[in-house]
Amino acid sequence: MALSKYVVGNWKMHGTSSDLPEIASIASAAAGSTGVDVALCLPATLIDRAATSMAGFAFGGQDVHQDEKGAHTGCTSAAMLLDAGASLAIVGHSERRSDQCETDEQVRAKAEAGLKAGLGVILCIGESLDVREAGQAVATVQSQLDASLPHGDGAAAGVPGKFAIAYEPIWAIGTGKVASPADIGEMHKALRERLVAAYGDAGNEVRILYGGSVNASNAAEIFAVDDVDGALVGGASLTAEKFVPIVEAAAAR
């Protein structure tokens, strides 16, 4: 049975209080879309104000530290995100893997910490262009998934709807280049197999999102691909004008 679609905006390092009205437009349009779950992962500085003024809409962080507290200057714990009103967090985004040199092991610890604390978690994985051109994309992303999947207390098994994967080819993020439906389908099928191998039947409940230059023009085609359970959207999530049509394309599936 198809999983309900999940469309998540990643605002990256964009957004100040002047953007709250735009966020409110997105939240109110999303409330009118049935059959699709929608969330915005905002800069940590905005979550509290957004969650306070838009109760009922799902806001998330763009990262979560693996430790509960401690000497980690500039980092945000799961408890802090929850306290601010977040209900989810992205972990392992390729920009953090490259800018902050995050390893699969750290990403796995972050996913486990987030889930254990009660946050939903979206775990990002994806290959570079070199890897894709060398014909190694599926094998590389599968092993990235294996190495960063949460286990133990915070594992996805038994937490339906709390854990999602985002397959984001690095070369497609913010570039306007999109993986072909055939390549997306091949990758998502391969990831589904790994999720079932890791979690048994519960692996079929983990939503697999596609991310990489999703926009209003290509969303319907991407959502039609088997095992595409939604999208992680960067640039096109910054305005209601661009984001709402993507949500509507998901709701139409």
Residues identified as active-site: 93, 168
Burial class (CB in 10 A: 0-12, 13-18, 19+), 188: buried
The count of chain residues that interact with ligand PEP, using the rule CB under 6 A, is 14
**Residue 62 engages ligand PEP in binding (rule: CB under 6 A):** no
234 sits near ligand PEP (criterion: CB under 6 A): yes
Binding flag, residue 102, ligand PEP (CB under 6 A): no
Report the residue from 5, 7, 10, 39 that binds ligand PEP according to the rule CB under 6 A: 10
Q: How far apart are CA 149 and CA 140, in angstroms?
A: 14
* Beta-ladder partners of 37: 6
At 108, the amino acid letter reads R
| 44 or 233: CB nearest ligand PEP | 233
> Nearest residue to ligand PEP, using CB?
234
Using CB under 6 A, pick the residue from 168, 205, 227, 248 that binds ligand PEP: 168
Least distance CB 52 / ligand PEP (angstroms):
25
Q: State both tokens at 203.
A: 């692996």
In whole angstroms, the minimum distance from the beta carbon of 120 to ligand PEP comes to: 16
Select the residue interacting with ligand PEP from 35, 118, 160, 174 (CB under 6 A): 174
- What does residue 216 show for φ and ψ, rounded to 5 degrees? -60, -30
The least CB distance from residue 234 to ligand PEP, in Å, is 2
Q: Count Cα neighbours of 47 within 13 Å in the Cβ-side half-sphere.
A: 26
Q: How far apart are CA 113 and CA 186, in angstroms?
A: 30
Looking at 25-33, 39-47, 111-119, 230-238, which segment touches ligand PEP (CB under 6 A)? 230-238
DSSP H or E run through 91: strand 88-91
Please tell me whether residue 9 binds ligand PEP under the rule CB under 6 A.
no
Which residue matches tokens 């692996």? 203
